[in-house]
Structure 1
Amino acid sequence: MSHNGVKRLYLMQVGIMPDYQIPIVCALVQTEDGKNILIDSGLPEAIPEEASDFENGQDVIEQLASIGLAPEDIDTVISTHYDIDHAGRHAAFTRAQYVVQRVHHEDAASNPRFAALRAQWDQPMERIRLVDGDTELLPGLTLIETSGHVPGHQSVLVRLPRTGTVLLTIDAVPFAAGFTRNGQEDASNPDAEATRASTLKLLDLAEREQIGLVIFGHDQAQWTGLNKLPQFYE
């Protein structure tokens, strides 16, 4: 029995940006008491024309089915943010509670960036849990507010009984090369200052917690060496 609530972490590649060989990914956390917590849901089944640089692979529903799970088995969807490659299948998980940063959900309501996917993320409010800042969701699973990529983006910290602490940076730090204190702010990013602050926040966390495994959001070189479903970390 684990000393905390988290038992297992699965990683899934559900698509790709073929021009750049950038993987599109989701994750699944399973708890000791049998809960299934999905982190993001990947690309939509039909990719809109304005997102034609994305390409679907084996989608999250198929991959979950391969380990015996149906959409109704998902108890919680951690929505890191509502970009098309992260929230494309949210509406499929009809019994899940969605957990999202309040700042992000409120911004998305009027932000054209998220309009094409509104039918997926704009769920009844009784099924959405809005959180404010860093939040321990349950023992061993903590949400880390990391605005910059979008307002109210969140990364995820998972404490596993054998592997130890794993940090999923998601899009706060999409590539390992950017996980440095000496990085230059991207002048084309209107929230470059917030992005840099979130990077430093995660670097501080990784050092303070002595995190052995930091998984970046879209790093193909790293992704090839990670355990992917049906393999897992525990």
Structure 2
Amino acid sequence: MTDLQVRRVDFGYFIRSAAETGTGSPRVEPCLGYLIDHPDGALLVDTGIGAHPAVEARYRPRRIPLVDALAAVGRRPDDVRHIVNCHLHFDHCGGNPELPGRPIFTQRAELEPARTKEHYTLPELIDSSGARYVELDDEAEVLPGVVIVPTPGHTAGHQSVVVRRRDGTVVVAGQSHDHATAFTGDVPAGRARADGAGSPLPVPPDWVARLLEFDPARVVFAHDNAVWTP
């Protein structure tokens, strides 16, 4: 097992309106990527916030450019050899056009609506010059020690990245859950169900159990600085 480093990359933040949060108040959310240092070349999970007048008006983002975000973790765009987007909404693939030619590991169930569904994302981010997709239909080990696991829910093709390390597995869960507390809630819900607790019970997605099979030491998220630990 290799000692793969996972570094958080800060791409800025955006502001969700009270109508979107459902809380009666707006919420400022970080936009986080993760750089995996790998002997076969660095892999970047998510690339930042795409730009469009509608995005500016609705979300009032404050972006950290890709080159600056990578510099903060001691890397340059040329160091990135592989890309994974947890999904293809504008706030996760905004920097893809700045990284042409790199393989972009994507679930087929995600790429199809990103290309065809109106208002799904910013189309110019999807098939930009040099975009090169590696389409997946299920779980796949894309680099030694790096496994992509489908985690549908937020979108049909959402995926998470499992990084096996000597000191414990890290799961980059993207937007599988909006916040770490939601993941925290799903874990004991699955345990209670396995223990035969009576109904009613919350029903976590089946893939939560699959992620836990990797025995994660940490689970990190795209829009929450909090980290889940067992």
The CA distance in 1 between the partners of 2:131 and 2:98, in whole Å, is 16
CA distance 1:21–1:137, change in 2 (3 Å) = same
Structure with bigger gyration radius: 2
Equivalent residue number for residue 14 of structure 1 = 11
| 1:166/1:211 contact within 8 Å kept | yes
| 1:98/1:127 contact within 8 Å kept | yes
Equivalent residue number for residue 210 of structure 2 = 205
What's the secondary structure of 2:169's corresponding residue?
A: strand
Equivalent residue number for residue 168 of structure 1 = 172
Equivalent residue number for residue 89 of structure 2 = 83
Q: Of the candidates 155, 161, 167, which is equivalent to residue 156 of structure 1? A: 161
| 1:72/1:94 contact within 8 Å kept | no
Equivalent residue number for residue 99 of structure 2 = 93
Question: Is 1:39 equivalent to 2:45 in the alignment?
Answer: yes
Question: What are the ranges of 5 or more consecutive residues in structure 2 without an aligned counterpart?
Answer: 16-25, 191-202
The CA distance in 1 between the partners of 2:216 and 2:80, in whole Å, is 27
Query: What displacement does 1:57 show?
Result: 3.5
Equivalent residue number for residue 231 of structure 1 = none
Query: What displacement does 1:171 show?
Result: 1.1
Question: What are the ranges of 5 or more consecutive residues in structure 1 without an aligned counterpart?
Answer: 184-195, 226-234
Equivalent residue number for residue 230 of structure 1 = none
Q: What residue identity is the alignment partner of 1:23? A: P
**Mapping for residues 44-123 of structure 1, pairs under 5 Å:** 44=50, 46-51=51-56, 52-115=58-121, 117-123=122-128
Q: What residue identity is the alignment partner of 2:6? A: L
Identity %: 25
Query: What displacement does 1:58 show?
Result: 2.2
RMSD: 2.6
Q: What residue identity is the alignment partner of 1:24? A: C
The CA distance in 1 between the partners of 2:60 and 2:206, in whole Å, is 29
Query: What displacement does 1:123 show?
Result: 4.3
Q: Of the candidates 205, 216, 224, which is equivalent to residue 219 of structure 1? A: 224
The CA distance in 1 between the partners of 2:74 and 2:175, in whole Å, is 29
CA deviations on 1:172-204 (whole Å, 9 max, x unpaired) are: 112122122449xxxxxxxxxxxx66x4422x1
Which TM-score applies when normalising by structure 1? 0.76
Query: What displacement does 1:149 show?
Result: 0.8
